[in-house]
Amino acid sequence: MASTEEIRTGLAEIVNEITGVPADDVQLDKSFTDDLDIDSLSMVEVVVAAEEKFGVKIPDEEVKNLATVGDAVSYIEKAGS
């Protein structure tokens, strides 16, 4: 399974591709909506891309619980183990 940093880096690349946010700005403590200014439509794209990249399923009801990059990394770590 990928390390926390590998997952964060992968998510950063996804966020950068979809939203144009610099990958270096995508840190564990950053909020997707407040800090990275990602809207709900872009968040859906990020989730779909993350599911494909990491081979996990993120149910719609879980997406609302992924407020920060760290939340998403933790979820992917648990889902992939």
Judge residue 39's burial from the number of C-beta atoms within 10 Å of its C-beta, 0-12 exposed, 13-18 middle, 19 or more buried: exposed
Among candidate residues 29, 34, 39, 71, the one labeled active-site is 39
Q: How many CB atoms lie within 10 A of CB 67?
A: 13
Judge residue 40's burial from the number of C-beta atoms within 10 Å of its C-beta, 0-12 exposed, 13-18 middle, 19 or more buried: exposed
Catalytic-residue membership of 37? no
Active-site residue list: 39
